[in-house]
Amino acid sequence: MRRLSDVIYNFHWIVAGKAARASQAYAGFLRAFLRARAIRSVINLRGPNPKHMWWRYETRVCAGLGVAHFDTMLSSRRLPTRQMLINLLEAFRQAQTPVLLKCSGGQDRTSFAAALYLLNTQGWAAFEEAEQQFASWPYLHWPRRHQHWLKLFPEFAREDSAGAALAEWLGRDYTPERFKAWLEARGMGDSFRGLYDKPGTAPGI
């Protein structure tokens, strides 16, 4: 049975008892929310934001509960650099389970990270399950014009990797320029806003 807080925070299990996804805890009660689900690690996809109250609250609650907190940076509009994706997979590796993935609304970057979590831990056999992480219901993924690349990334990764494991392919072959060319060749050049001028930088949004 779903709790009211599941609805408020767009909470769903990716893999029951091991990995979950949710939105930012803007309504508060984060301590009770994490404890009720026995969360041991939180991966924040908005990057470190020490100037913002939500980040200070989140890290303070996690520290008080002994929950590991990882900051990784993704944008829902700009194509990720190789290092961003390597950092995300490294957070997956280090995080004790159950782990919670979250961005702001738990809809776009969280859908992307949830898909990569499945592909990283279960391989390409989980491709269809990974694609389901972008469903409009129940995850509320309704992408805007420059967010459509998110759902297309798993297809690109599977094709470009030629069967290699996700982590191996990312570390060896992936570049945002390569993904950009793939999108443009399929008439999806307007599915993203652009690339990063400086690799590894991203807005904490």
**Which among 181, 166, 146 is positioned nearest to 88, based on CA atoms?**
166
Tokens describing residue 54 = 């939500």
CB 46 within 8 A of CB 104: yes
What's the total number of domains in the chain? Answer: 1
Instruction: Supply φ then ψ for residue 2, to 5 degrees.
Output: -80, 135
Calculate the CA 181 to chain-centre distance: 23
Query: Does some domain include residue 165?
Result: yes
Note if the pTM is more than 0.85: yes
Give a yes or no: residue 193 inside a domain: no
What residues contact residue 58 under an 8 Å CB cut-off, 6+ apart? 24, 25, 30, 42, 44, 69
* pLDDT of res. 3: 77
- Using CA atoms, how far apart are residues 31 and 184, in angstroms rounded to an integer? 44
Q: What is the pLDDT of residue 4?
A: 75
- Specify if 128 maps to a domain: yes
Question: Which of these, 103, 104, 100, 105, lies nearest to 117 by C-alpha position?
Answer: 100
Extended strands (E) in the chain: 12-15, 19-22, 41-44, 68-71, 99-102
Give the tokens for residue 150: 């998110």
d(CA 84, CA 112): 13
| CATH number for 111 | 3.90.190.10
Asked if residue 195 is part of any domain, the answer here is: no
Q: How far apart are CA 65 and CA 31, in angstroms?
A: 8
CB 191 within 8 A of CB 149: yes
Please report the pLDDT score of residue 200 as a whole number. Answer: 43
> Does residue 150 contact residue 193 with C-beta atoms inside 8 Å?
no
Show pLDDT as tens, one digit a residue, over the chain (205 residues): 667 778 889 999 999 999 999 999 988 899 999 999 999 999 999 999 999 999 999 999 999 999 999 999 999 999 999 999 999 999 999 999 999 999 999 999 999 999 999 999 999 999 999 999 999 999 999 999 999 999 999 999 999 999 999 999 999 999 999 999 999 999 999 999 999 875 444 444 4
Q: What separation in angstroms does the CA of 6 have from each of 1, 23, 97, 139?
A: 10, 10, 19, 11
In a domain, 33, yes or no: yes
Angle between helices 109-122 and 82-94 (to 10 degrees): 60
pLDDT score for 71 = 98
Is position 194 within any domain? no
Provide the domain limits for residue 130: 4-185
Residue 36 counted as domain residue:
yes
